[in-house]
Structure 1
């Protein structure tokens, strides 16, 4: 990319910048590495800062419906205070950790339709210029992968994944948005719930798993949403029977939803809600640690079985390529909107 908007006003050719991420997807909490290649323009410049910004395409609900926009969820200065002379070529390596709550964009190499990117920002002459956005691929943590695989083994199917602006009350959520992975119900729950939504809120010491059961009401009844929360650890993933664990979560959630529909009141402790103030049922705060349960299939078995599980039904093979193409177009349009403002 050539930073023409900023440096063109100075009457000189600007430097070109090319950010290259190291190959492969990165897990939440893992190090994002790569290099920023710079080539000097027609004059010498002092680069005040070279910054990489993590951005996400996020949906927001409001009275008029839904809208989409970009949200920055991390800024990292990778270099500052150096002279870039005319025509000079320089390569700046970088390495920084992704936030633990970074959404996952793929499962077993198949894209989920979530759009994340890394945007390069160059600060020169007291101004800043934002360049192109490079697509960011994020793979699940082992415990996330195990839980999603268990859903697949239990008969749930992937529908979609998106990022929602807002905060889930009663959780330790840190980012200004959260990811929802929407699953079609397994045959055993058909007719009882329309879908199960899964949200992962990971941290260095463990992860909250928020499950939401949603069945939209028909002509004569209102729909109800139920939300529950489980806590799991990062260690001992291969020693947990995740099919049994996840199955118990879903049964409890669906049964409590049924109880909610047939009784006028019940325990309101440990409730969870979204930032918009609309309640989403009653959460279950009892943590299920990574050591809960034993004798289940190891991770190798689960991954091998993934071909018959959730991974196959994630999305069509074209989605990953489409998302890569979409990243630049989406954030470029967003950047143009900012310029007009």
Structure 2
């Protein structure tokens, strides 16, 4: 998905930029590669720098309710310092590392409703233009896939996924937002839990797994949220009995009796106040079991419900429209028009 656009600040006759990502999904903490193709305009131009910017559609909670916007979460300078001759064509290959906390956008080829993009910024003769926008597909790390698969095997279903602005207190979170994957409860937990929310916070040494349960109230008690946090390693994924491990996590979460009251333990921070918080129960990952995974799991659950997933504002949009909307949010300038 590529949008080409004249460098608006230079007018007609300026150079054009077309960034093409290497086909296939990237992965958190791994390489994102591709090429930036430039075509010279009606005169020679000095290309000062070429920058790639990673952007994400993010929801923010505040006193007035909820709003959406686009957050830039990483920038890479991949070229610059040369003259592009009139009408000349020039290609710049790049290879950059995605942040470990980059959200996953798909599982087994099925979209989760997460919108990420790569914006190319061209700086020419003191003028800057974000002239190309490409949709970024990110697949799960092996441990993330194993956990989602185990949840599917246990009977949990995929409901929706989004990105929340703010930080989760007590974790090593690096990005200004986190991904939240909402799951419908497995039948054996349906009488205790309305839904489960899952967040992955990966880093080079492993990953924090944050689970939050929206618990049902009893006859004489109100429902409330409970939250637990666990850690896993990137190593030995294939030797772990993930179904047993994840089921133990869920049991600990559902049976959690700490007095959180009726408020969420998540830190849904107000982006304008800078306040954060959160309380956690801590799990451990020291018990490893040999085992294997079989059956359809979460992938089939997502595929089966893909047509009717509650994916918020991106539901029903084709990829081009989704990326275009990210561009509108990021630019904040509806007067600029993208060209196919």
> What TM-score do you get using the length of structure 2 for normalisation?
0.87
Q: What is the Cα-based RMSD across aligned positions, in Å?
A: 2.4
Which residue among 285, 289, 293 is the counterpart of 1:288? 285
Which residue among 313, 319, 324 is the counterpart of 2:319? 324
Which residue among 279, 284, 301 is the counterpart of 1:313? 301
Q: How many residues are aligned here? A: 318
For residues 145-192 of structure 1, give each alpha carbon's deviation from its aligned partner in whole angstroms, at most 9, with x where no partner exists: 000000000000000000000000000000000000000000011121
Unaligned runs of 5+ in 1: 265-270
Stretch deviating more after TM superposition (320-329 or 143-152): 320-329
Alignment partners' CA distance in 2, 1:159 and 1:318: 10
> 1:217: Cα distance to partner?
5.9
Alignment partners' CA distance in 1, 2:179 and 2:128: 31
Q: Which residue of 1 aligns with 2:9?
A: 6
> 1:321: Cα distance to partner?
8.7
Q: Which residue of 2 aligns with 1:268?
A: none
Q: Which residue of 1 aligns with 2:329?
A: 334
Q: Which residue of 1 aligns with 2:113?
A: 113
For residues 271-312 of structure 1, give each alpha carbon's deviation from its aligned partner in whole angstroms, at most 9, with x where no partner exists: 8744456865x42224315xx322211xxx44xx3xx21111
- Greater fraction helix: 1
Structure of higher RCO (CA pairs closer than 8 Å, 6+ residues apart): 2
8 Å CA contact 2:215–2:254 kept in 1: the answer is no
SS at match of 2:255: helix
Alignment partners' CA distance in 2, 1:330 and 1:220: 46
Q: 1:296 to 1:116 in 2, by over 3 A?
A: same
Q: Which residue of 2 aligns with 1:47?
A: 47
Q: 1:215 to 1:285 in 2, by over 3 A?
A: closer
Alignment partners' CA distance in 1, 2:266 and 2:170: 5
SS at match of 2:80: strand
> 1:93: Cα distance to partner?
0.3
> What TM-score do you get using the length of structure 1 for normalisation?
0.87
What pairs with 1:142-161 in structure 2 (closer than 5 Å)? 142-161=142-161
Alignment partners' CA distance in 1, 2:221 and 2:250: 23
Structure 1 segments, 4+ long, off by >3 Å, are 215-223, 271-280, 317-323
Alignment partners' CA distance in 2, 1:68 and 1:149: 30
> 1:104: Cα distance to partner?
0.2
